Amino acid sequence: MKYMDFPVIDPVATGHNIKTLREEKGLTVRNLQEFFGFEEPQAIYRWQYGKTLPSVDNLYALSVILEVPMERILIPVTYERVNQLEKQQEAPAASAFLYQFKKKLASIRLTSFSFSAFLMTRTSSTKNVIKHAVQ
């Protein structure tokens, strides 16, 4: 069995990408707000700043209005990004988590059991780390 990197979405890079794709299409935040039927534009701004990610339904709708596949909207965490976080010390908790994450992936052979166990052990802590990373 081969080793496999566990994919993690980079919320800040994804937010920048959403903004770039929106601007390339000539759309404003107000246009997206109206498209989604939001009363206020805060949700769009939270996506763009990487504070939150769109729900799966909203991501699908966003891909339709931007005329790109969903995979083109989402930006994965890369080792370069981890190294950047570690160097800048902007988010020590995130860089510490991601460093340990890299080490764990290098040493774990992801079988279906270990993959499930890995997911169960990381879900609550990942939310806190990503929350601190984007603040």
pLDDT in tens, 35-65: 999 999 999 999 999 999 999 999 999 999 9
By the 8 A CB rule, do 23 and 15 touch? no
Go through 90-112 and write b for each residue having 16 or more CB atoms within 10 A of its CB, e for each that does not. ebebbbebbeebeeeeeeeebee
Find out if CATH 2.60.120.380 is the number for domain 11-73: no
How far is residue 49 from each of residues 3, 8, 28, 96, measured CA to CA in Å?
33, 17, 15, 22
Q: Using CA atoms, how far apart are residues 41 and 3, in angstroms rounded to an integer?
A: 42
Q: Has residue 66 got a pLDDT over 70?
A: yes
Q: Using CA atoms, how far apart are residues 78 and 72, in angstroms rounded to an integer?
A: 15
pTM for this entry:
0.60
* Helix, strand, coil fractions of the chain, as percent rounded to 5: 70, 0, 30
Q: Has residue 122 got a pLDDT over 80?
A: no
**Average pLDDT for 60-76:** 95
Q: Which residues pair with 76 in a beta bridge?
A: 9
Q: Using CA atoms, how far apart are residues 85 and 130, in angstroms rounded to an integer?
A: 12
**What ranges do the domains of the chain cover?**
11-73, 79-133
Instruction: Specify the pLDDT at position 87.
Output: 65
Q: Has residue 72 got a pLDDT over 90?
A: yes
Confidence of residue 91 (pLDDT cuts 50, 70, 90): low
**Average pLDDT for 74-93:** 67
Q: Has residue 131 got a pLDDT over 70?
A: no
